[in-house]
Amino acid sequence: MSGARDDRGGQRPPERGADRPRGPRGPRARSGQRPAERTRTGDPARFTAYTVLRSVDEGGYANLELPRLLRGSGLRGRDAAFATELTYGALRWRGLYDAIVVDASGRGVDAIDAPVLDTLRLGAHQLLGMRVPSHAAVGETVGLAREVNGAGAAGFVNAVLRRISERTREEWLARVVPPGDGPDALAVAHSHPEWVVRGLRSALVGHGVCGPEDVAGELAALLRADNDPPEVTLVARPGLVSVADLVDLGARPAPVSPVGAVLPAGDPGSLAPVRDGRAAVQDEGSQLLALALAAVPVDGDEYDEEWLDLCAGPGGKAGLLAALSVDRAFLTANEISPHRADLVDQALRAARSAGARVEVRVGDGRDVGEDEPGRYDRVLVDAPCTGLGALRRRPDARWRRTPGDLADLATLQRQLLTSALDAARPGGVVGYATCSPHVNETVYAVADVLKGRDDVEVLDARDAVQEVAPGIELAGEGPHVQLWPHRNGTDGMFLALLRRRP
């Protein structure tokens, strides 16, 4: 049943009838508060979370928008933590909350205005995913709705949230999750699009983690890990700052990366080494890829090497490579986007000050192999991808991507890897990396590019990664490396190491 819209674009409460949300007082679902007690406006933390969700719906990125809005609003401490949990929790569990909203309202998500639906997602997370008393979750969210969606929409939000509050999270799961353990059920229970669930299932089998007969347990563990908010991981860029220095500032050594540190609490931007670029926020998996590429031997005489980061933006891996290149190599950081190239340049300033020889340039990575054939000793291709391995850090990515993105990205990934191999000198090494385990972006991409090429040798990336991180456990038989959030505690990074034959 489609509801009428009020003059502010919101939804009026459902008409009296079978599909009207019913609260404890019956079909009218009256508020339990007297008018004078009802919140008239939303508080700054909830308003900030709502603003981020609206930005994401319009194409923005939560990891960029939220810090900017927190700074602008002056939210700090517990208020900032509340806004952060509310934002990411509502994004992370959007799929489940939408199913609950549909049941509680009697309307499909397409029949609810997008801004009102975002408000309902925020209210649902407070009720089912946070320790917010029901009366506060409903009252404050209705106040937010009155402010941002209009009075008519606020009544609808009040009715729906009151009905949601009548059941626990477990009771709602039992009500809205389809029966069985198929992809449709997992998609709702773990709040992933169904195509992503299917893709991750194929990835676990394709990378040799398990067989089809026992993939169910691994898949459920992976989906749970995607919904487990990770701690902040820092990289201590070698020669610029040490892990011990970061430990002195409140971090602890990371469990996997030898140059990693975990910051259990606080704003990483408040740390001097992060502010001046000697350290940075970076997942351990990303650190290991750069370390492995820099450590694998290249054929040829000893001389200053030339390194290339083919898709360098926004600069995290380039910053680590630059630190590793001091007294070893000249690093070229290539990026197609001028804005992202500026970010790369900022990421390399500290390494420059320490003596790194680096150049940041704007260019299409697909052209480098033809323009500079056989020039580089080490090439990193951190290819654009769906980001399905980093959903725990960027939950909005699961709703941003579509199956159609795979085809476009697959073409680009293969073109970039071909260009990188052409740009590598005989005896040089190419590292192909993605932050997605999807087989079409990883093993199939490498296999497609190597068809018809007899000038490339596939190296065992497992040896290289275990050399820089001896304690790490790697699933599968290689020769490529696929990391997993539920097994390694890192993002789902993939690495293939390829050598141009001398």
Catalytic residues: 435
Q: CB of 427 within 8 A of CB of 502?
A: yes
- Could you tell me which of 476, 482, 433, 400 has the C-alpha nearest to residue 208? 476
Q: What is the H or E stretch that residue 156 is in?
A: helix 151-164
Q: Distance between CA 462 and CA 481 in Å, rounded? A: 6
Is the Cα dihedral 223, 225, 229, 232 positive or negative?
A: negative
Residue 421 host element (H or E): helix 403-423
Q: Measured between alpha carbons, how far is residue 427 from residues 126, 298, 306, 366, 421 in Å?
A: 57, 6, 13, 21, 11
Partners of 232 in beta bridges: 263
Tell me whether residue 479 is exposed, middle or buried, using C-beta atoms within 10 angstroms of its C-beta: 0 to 12, 13 to 18, 19 or more.
middle
- Beginning with the edge strand found earlier in the chain, give each strand of the sheet holding 260-263 in spatial order: 252-253, 260-263, 232-236, 279-281
Read off φ and ψ for residue 312, nearest 5 degrees. -80, -20
Phi-psi region of 326 (alpha: psi -120 to 50; beta: other; left: phi over 0): beta
Rounded Cα–Cα distance for residues 179 and 367 (Å): 51
Q: For 187-225, b where at least 16 C-beta lie within 10 A, e where not — what string?
A: bbbbbbbbbbbbbbbbbbbbbebbeeeebeebbeebbeb
Q: Are 188 and 178 in contact (CB under 8 A)?
A: yes
The answer to whether the beta carbons of residues 407 and 413 sit under 8 Å apart is no
Helices (H) and strands (E) in the chain, counts: 23, 12
